[in-house]
């Protein structure tokens, strides 16, 4: 049985493909995790090959199968009827696993047989067979797909405010690379912006002010005030309180009387629809906070 397998990645496209050569799945907003099952042994590898079995032990234990298997999928938290990355981060920060779900979408190894050379649709059929044979139940779920018209699923994903879809060639093998056999189409744009300030509320933050680097200058691109729970808001506040600055670090000062300015050490992962003619983000939503 092999060790960590570098995951296959999807190439970004502006439109979903159609035709019987393609299957389409919902794009989940979580952590890519590769589960390795070998009898009683369990491992849970992140996208970069770190074994996070302690964080995902409940999910790994739910794959109650007797032999060997390597499954590719996504760990998520569902909040307000959609997968939510900031809620997942908060759950992991607390060390909780009660809300974690795992959507399994590919099967790479089964009982001594390497399945990476098998066609995509055959691998998915074997994965579904594994769920059926052993009556596997939440917190693990089989990632359903539709075949043919990807645009219809994309439009449905847009209406439901999902992140997008992933389209996969039915006859393609599994390849540890970014290629044309997997395509992703996003309903929104996503980017990481340096946090330049915030607005306080009693327990956390009410809004974040964001910048963007243009050459050597840091310019203002707007604010975000949605996408976090009360718990996540408090965690953001604790992190930003460590980098408070007496003045704005923007190249051109802006008037924000309620702002607490910070050194641009933290980056906010932001989803947004587009950018206005004034250069400001439209319909932005917070997804996570990272330090660089």
How many Å apart are CA 142 and CA 170, to the nearest integer? Answer: 17
pLDDT, tens digit (0-9, with 9 covering 90-100), for 14-54:
889 989 999 999 999 899 999 999 999 999 999 999 999 99
- Compute the half-sphere exposure of residue 133: CA atoms within 13 Å on the CB side of its CA: 11
pLDDT, tens digit (0-9, with 9 covering 90-100), for 90-139:
899 899 999 999 999 999 999 999 999 999 999 999 999 999 999 999 99
Residue 158: what pLDDT? 83
| Tokens 């980098």, located at residue | 243
Residue 161: what pLDDT? 75
Please give the C-alpha separations between residue 52 and each of 48, 63, 272, in angstroms, as whole numbers: 11, 16, 30
Fold of 10-186: D-amino Acid Aminotransferase; Chain A, domain 1 (3.30.470)
Output the six-digit token pair for 274.
Answer: 């587009």
How many Å apart are CA 168 and CA 182, to the nearest integer? Answer: 5
Segments of the chain assigned to CATH 2.40.50.140: 189-291
Specify the CATH class of 189-291 in words: mainly beta
| Contact assessment for residue 269 and residue 287, using Cβ atoms and an 8 Å cutoff | yes
pLDDT, tens digit (0-9, with 9 covering 90-100), for 271-290:
887 677 688 998 899 999 99
pLDDT, tens digit (0-9, with 9 covering 90-100), for 55-95:
999 999 999 999 999 999 999 999 878 888 878 888 998 99
Residue 49: what pLDDT? 96
Alpha helices per DSSP H over 83-169: 85-94, 120-133, 150-159
Work out the pLDDT band at 149, boundaries 50, 70, 90.
confident
């Amino acid at each position: 049985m092999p060790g960590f397998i570098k995951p296959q990645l999807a190439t970004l496209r502006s439109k979903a493909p159609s035709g019987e050569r393609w299957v389409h799945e919902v794009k989940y907003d979580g952590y890519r995790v590769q589960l390795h099952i070998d009898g009683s042994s369990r491992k849970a590898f992140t996208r970069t090959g770190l074994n996070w079995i302690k964080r995902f032990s409940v999910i790994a234990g739910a794959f109650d199968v007797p032999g060997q298997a390597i499954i590719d999928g996504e760990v998520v938290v569902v909040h307000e009827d959609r997968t939510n990355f900031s809620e997942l981060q908060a759950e992991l920060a607390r060390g909780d696993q009660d809300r974690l779900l795992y959507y399994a979408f590919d099967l790479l190894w089964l009982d001594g047989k390497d399945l990476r050379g098998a066609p995509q649709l055959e691998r998915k059929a074997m994965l579904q067979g594994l769920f059926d044979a052993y009556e596997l139940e939440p917190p693990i779920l089989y990632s359903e797909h539709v075949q043919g018209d990807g645009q219809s699923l994309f439009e449905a994903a847009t209406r439901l405010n999902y992140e997008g879809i992933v389209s996969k060639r039915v006859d393609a093998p599994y390849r540890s690379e970014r290629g044309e056999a997997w395509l992703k189409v996003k309903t929104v744009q996503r980017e990481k912006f340096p946090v330049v300030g915030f607005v306080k509320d009693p327990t956390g933050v009410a809004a974040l002010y964001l910048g963007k680097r243009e050459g050597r200058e840091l310019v203002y691109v707007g604010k975000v005030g949605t996408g976090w729970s009360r718990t996540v808001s408090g965690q953001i506040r604790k992190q930003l309180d460590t980098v408070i600055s007496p003045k704005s670090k923007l190249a051109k000062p802006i008037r924000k009387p309620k702002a607490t300015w910070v050194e641009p050490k933290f980056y906010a992962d932001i989803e947004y629809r587009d950018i206005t003619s004034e250069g400001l983000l439209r319909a932005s939503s917070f997804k996570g906070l990272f330090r660089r």
